[in-house]
Amino acid sequence: MTPLVVIEGLSKYYLRGDQVIPVLVDLSLEVAEGEYVALMGPSGSGKSTLLNLIAGIDKPSSGTIRIGGIDIAALSDAELALWRSINVGFVFQFYNLMPVLTAFGNVELPLQLTTLSRPERRERVEAALALVGLTDRAMHLPNELSGGQQQRVAIARALITDPTLIVADEPTGDLDRATAQEILGLLGRLNDELGKTIIMVTHDPKAAETAHRLVHLEKGELVA
Amino acid sequence: MAVPIGYIARNLVARRLTTALTAGGMALVVYVFATVLMLAAGLRATLVSTGQPDNVVVIRRGSVTEVQSGISRDQASVVESLPDIAVAGDGMRLISKESVVLISLPKRSTGKPGNVTVRGVTAAGLELRPQVKLVAGRMFHPGTSEIVVGRAIATGFRGAQLDDTLRFGSREWTVVGEFDAGRTGFDSEIWGDATQMLQAFRRNGYSSIVFKLADPDRFDAVKTELESDPRLTIEAKRERQFYADQSQALASFIRVLGTGISIIFSIGAVIGAAITMYASVASRTAEIGTLRALGFRRSAVLIAFLTEALLLGLVGGIAGLVAASFMQAVTISTTNFQTFAEIAFSFALTPAIVAASLAFALGMGLVGGFLPAARAARMKIVDALRAA
């Protein structure tokens, strides 16, 4: 399979005063198109930083990140924003839904960045909500939904622009075991049936088992 | 691409108490701002509508008001001989040589004295002011010590009601009628026979001469003719302009003082708006991070928070204007310090005041919202998301 994500010599440092704190050190990684990868490692190992860099919401200190052939580290802020809106779907640990918008409004939000007409947006949102099994909850606000339902809304939002890559940061971290299984099943379907490439950060070995490949990080470096 | 307006507006509704308090603060400032402008506009509207478009007022050169002016009988005769004066249906020439004096009467509300304009008019003088309508009693008879009073005098001063007797100019004057001058400056005047007034106040000359032009377009020619006549030391103004000039100083004073006070108040409201918007940004840091992650640009976030602040200002502006609009029902009386006479007028809400007040409210929102919005736009996505 052709690689979708190609990372070479990637480093990320933070400065605390005049102290340099390495988070990722000379890291190289490839993720094939349609692959489902779980990033694991102890707290502070740099897995969330790596995910943020791949998702284009943080910039590396050095190295390249090519996604679908584009070196996203070289893009400007505005170019990167446009790139994310087309290519990346986000699933967060705490769902990150807009509390004042209904499930429908939250799923529709990324489509506000497109030129789609209102009926076209409606059609897509309804399809995405049907896919995650929340058609009857479309007009509910996030605080009227359970944690699992909120995460399903977030997954529908991640899917809505039909991105090639879905990044998930501890998507089951705030859920009970049964609900977590449900969400993992849904992510698995996105990968199997829709061919989405998924990169998931998780602490949960059971969650990691659902992925095709496990990538371990320790102190900013990959371990076999 | 912009953050949807529905999201922005709903955030204001979601924090309705904070929104209401902040908008309420702005509304108070807009209320003060609008009422002051309404006061100035009301004064101006009252005085401007006092004048008729075709009427010309002649006063002594250099004087602004009729009280300051004096025109000798000789000069009055020269003016009277003008061929441009209109003639009424019954053959009466529409020119009125008038005397204007100030007397002091106790105000009904406080008992304190206020200056009241007493005008001696002729039969033609009444014809020249068609807006003046008798609402009670009858018109004074020429050659008698009878007077009629304007509506604002009858309601605002003691002893000036129908059948009362007033003492001024060494005489007793009986109030035989009350007139309504259609909310013009004449409502704040007492009228009597011009000849009787001259005798009572021992005047040899008139204060002003008012006449109607047969051809209104001839004003400039008539003005030049009168002002260049070597026998005359007078100036001629259109009656509208004459009264508009009299409102200038007081209206400007009210406007400048009121705008100054509003601007000082607005600093408080702007700080209130800024605190509200900072709180809004702080409580929605994770949302800002999410919006940016989804692909909304920094500029979209900036515009979203600025729009929120503008909406806050708009709500405050509309609330302030609605409150101010009730002031239109209020009539107040004060001394016009150009004429030294009491003038009664109402607050007038004009489209220009509505526009200025809304612009002022939006300005407050914009200034108060700018720094918080800029802060929201500057946030790094990963830092903002960490606030979840």
Each residue of B309-320: pLDDT tens digit? Answer: 999 999 999 999
Phi/psi at B275 (nearest 5 deg)? Answer: -65, -45
Counting one residue from chain A and one from chain B, the pairs whose CB atoms sit within 8 A come to: 73
CA pair distance A58, A10, nearest whole angstrom: 12
Q: In this structure, what is the dihedral angle of CA atoms B189, B192, B109, B165, given to the nearest 10 degrees? A: 180
How far is A56 from chain B, CA to nearest CA, in Å?
8
How far is B261 from chain A, CA to nearest CA, in Å?
38
> Per-residue confidence at A16, pLDDT binned at 50, 70, 90?
confident
- pLDDT for A187-224, tens place per residue? 999 999 999 999 999 999 989 999 999 999 998 888 86
User: For residue A81, what is the nearest residue in chain B, using CA coordinates?
Assistant: B295
Strands B55-60 and B341-346: unpaired
**A70 touching B, CB under 8 A?**
no
Lowest mean pLDDT: which of A61-70, A199-208, B54-63, B342-351? B342-351
User: For residue B14, what is the nearest residue in chain A, using CA coordinates?
Assistant: A100
ipTM of this complex? 0.94
- Give Cβ neighbours of residue A109 (< 8 Å, ≥ 6 apart): A98, A101, A157, B4, B7, B291, B294
Domain carrying residue A57: 3-223
Q: Which residues of B touch A46 (CB under 8 A)?
A: none
Give the domain CATH number at A205.
3.40.50.300
- The total number of structural domains in chain A stands at 1
Most confident range (mean pLDDT) of A97-111, B153-167, B321-335 is A97-111
Q: Is the pLDDT of residue B301 over 70?
A: yes
Cβ neighbours, 10 Å, residue A123: 12
CA pair distance B193, B153, nearest whole angstrom: 18
**B296 touching A, CB under 8 A?**
yes
The distance between the two most distant Cα atoms of chain B, rounded to a whole number of Å, is 94
Which pLDDT score is estimated for B1? 65
Q: List C-alpha distances in Å: B190 to B22, B100, B148, B180, B243.
A: 49, 10, 6, 12, 17
